[in-house]
Amino acid sequence: MEDVFSEKINKHLRIACLSRNPQSPIMWSHYSSDHQGYIIEYNIREPIYKKVKYDEIEPFYYSAKELKESILKKYPDILDSEIDSKMKQTLEEDPIYMEKLHDSIFTKHVDWIYEEEYRFIDTNESGFSHDYIDHNLSSKDINSIVLGGFVAQTYL
């Protein structure tokens, strides 16, 4: 049922991940090329982001087999070609499943707490026609530029 998660997220959400921790060597090793990358520190005035929760993540399971069997019992005349879409619809209408989807977007395992991550989320119930989040930020919104792990103040 991972496809339902991915499809829902890809179609209806645009997520940008940011960090408040520009000095972490672990972050530089994960997200730059041998510490040769750069970070732009923005001054974002309006709260258009949400802090990620760090928790011990526990897996949850949906049995595709059991879900399919329950649909076949409920709709005995359903066509084979309609079963997948009915399974997706059933999951999307399940409040527990949708709560798990929401939680998965804003939760990372505690092992990643050093990232101090925040996420910008744009949602659109009818789906997006573009692949990016567009927020108007100008050079006045830039506080500093971090190069290869060292802070270099900018004067823009």
Q: What is the mean pLDDT of the segment spanning 18-40?
A: 79
pLDDT at 54: 79
> Who contacts 40 (Cβ-Cβ below 8 Å, separation ≥6)?
142, 145, 146
Cα separation, 28 vs 89, in Å, equals 41
Q: What residues pair up with 24 in beta bridges, in sequence order?
A: none
Q: What residues pair up with 17 in beta bridges, in sequence order?
A: 119
Greater pLDDT, 66 or 146: 66
Give CA 68 to chain center in angstroms: 28
pTM: 0.60
User: Residue 61: what residue type?
Assistant: Y
Q: What is the pLDDT of residues 69-79, one digit of tens each?
A: 988 999 989 88
